Structure formats: C-alpha cells, structure tokens
C-alpha cells in the first residue's frame, strides 16, 4: 500500500480539525468558563495528536504533545533544587564554640575579623 502524499494527509487533517468546534459556553461564571474551555482545548489537542500519529506526522504529534504537557499541572510545578535542599550544603556545627565566640559571631559585621573562628570551623568539619 502506497503512503499518501503529504498534501493529501494535510488536507485530510484540515478537514478533521475543521469538524472540531468549540461549544458555546456561558461566561457568567468565569472559573467554570475557563475550566470548561481548557477541557475543550485538551480534547482538541488530543484529537490532533491522534490524527498526527495515525497519519505519520511525528513533528505535529510532538508539538501537540508538548502543548498538552504545558497545560498540565506538572508543567506549572516549581521544584526547589538549591544546594541546601539537595543536601549538598550542611549547616556548620557550632557546638564546640563558647558563648563568647557565639556572641562575637552574632554581633559581627563586615568589618569584624572572624578569621580565627573560621579556621576553627574548618578544622572541626
């Protein structure tokens, strides 16, 4: 069986996509309107992806799946991958410091010389 030409496939896909009409929705409840509209977008994109797969159009399918992924909650989730969250940075152990040393650390500013305390911290770790 011969593979259909790209033009014929695109024409068939255009006819299929033309049949995918959106329902008219009431705009009185904005949240409901947005949820229903996004559901229709998802259904339409799924149909386009299925048609692209059936008609051997991998580029269109990939783009459609990418758009679908962007509409998912997983795409909008933010993950904290800082060094401290990954366990790469550890808080210094200040148990070996005296009260005087801790007060010096607490009251230090950019002009305070903390090199001796810094050396002790490095040695203890």
List the Cα angle 53/58/62 in 5-degree steps: 95
Please determine, for residue 1, whether its predicted confidence score (pLDDT) is greater than 60. Answer: no
Domain spans of the chain? 6-76, 90-125
Q: What is the pLDDT of residues 25-83, one digit of tens each?
A: 666 777 777 888 888 888 889 999 999 999 998 899 999 999 888 888 777 777 666 76
- The pair of structure tokens assigned to 122 is 């490095």
Query: What pTM was estimated for this model as a whole?
Result: 0.44
- The pair of structure tokens assigned to 27 is 């705009």
pLDDT at 96: 79
Q: 121 or 125: which carries more pLDDT confidence?
A: 121
């Amino acid at each position: 069986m011969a593979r259909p030409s790209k033009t014929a496939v695109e024409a068939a896909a255009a006819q299929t996509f033309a049949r995918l009409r959106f329902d008219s929705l009431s705009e009185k409840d904005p949240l409901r309107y947005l949820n229903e509209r996004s559901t229709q977008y998802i259904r339409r994109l799924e149909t386009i992806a299925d048609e692209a797969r059936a008609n051997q159009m991998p580029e269109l399918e990939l783009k459609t799946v990418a758009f679908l992924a962007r509409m998912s909650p997983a795409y909008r989730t933010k993950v904290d991958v800082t060094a401290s969250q990954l366990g790469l940075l550890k808080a210094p152990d200040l148990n070996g410091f005296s009260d005087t040393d801790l007060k010096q650390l607490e009251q230090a500013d950019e002009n305070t010389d903390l090199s001796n305390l810094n050396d002790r911290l490095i040695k203890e770790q």
